[in-house]
Amino acid sequence: MGRFRKYMFESEADRELISDEHYNMAYKKVKRIKGFYSHLRIYLIINVLLIISNLSRNFIGSGFNEERLFEWHTYSTALFWGIGLLAHALSVYGRDIFFSDAWEERKIKEIMDKKSANTKWQ
């Protein structure tokens, strides 16, 4: 829906909510995550089809050729596109995809709990 059309059909309360900075940031984040999942879905579908087509080439005449499993061109598209998909994931989720602030807090709490458990009996 275009910006003008969207503005026409919104109520006054909706306009106040949309102008909220936090809402706009969350909306953009959700759109980026949705875009990443669409990219991932297309990546999986296309690469499965490409790998199957590479493996079953000339299947009718000569049967399944197991040597094609280990050929470079069978997986090269998936590899290079996967690198691009990884870059997309890092741009959406940020660099803290594995070690986020919540993970740091859990680890600190875990270490502190271990320390307190060890010092109680000494």
In-domain check, residue 24: no
Task: Give the whole-angstrom CA distance, residue 30 versus residue 93.
Answer: 11
Rounded to whole angstroms, how far apart are CA atoms 101 and 27?
22
Reported as a single tens digit per residue, the pLDDT across 71-101 is: 788 889 999 999 999 999 988 888 766 777 7
Task: Indicate whether 115 belongs to any domain.
Answer: no
Three-state DSSP string of the chain: CCHHHHHHHCCHHHHHHHCCHHHHHHHHHHHHHHHHHHHHHHHHHHHHHHHHHHHCCCHHHHCCCHHHHHCHHHHHHHHHHHHHHHHHHHHHHCCCCCCCHHHHHHHHHHHHHHHHHHHHCC
Give domain status of residue 93, yes or no: yes
Model confidence pLDDT, tens digit, residues 34-71: 999 999 999 999 999 988 887 776 655 566 667 777 77
Q: What is the pLDDT of residue 39?
A: 95
Residue 112 maps to a domain: no
Is 71 within the bounds of a domain? Answer: yes
Instruction: Judge whether 43 lies within some domain.
Output: yes
pLDDT per residue as tens digits for the range 109-118:
888 888 777 7
The boundaries of the domain holding residue 58 are 29-97
| 118 in a structural domain | no
First to last CA, the chain: 67
2 falls within a domain: no
Q: Looking at the 3D structure of the chain, how many domains does it have?
A: 1
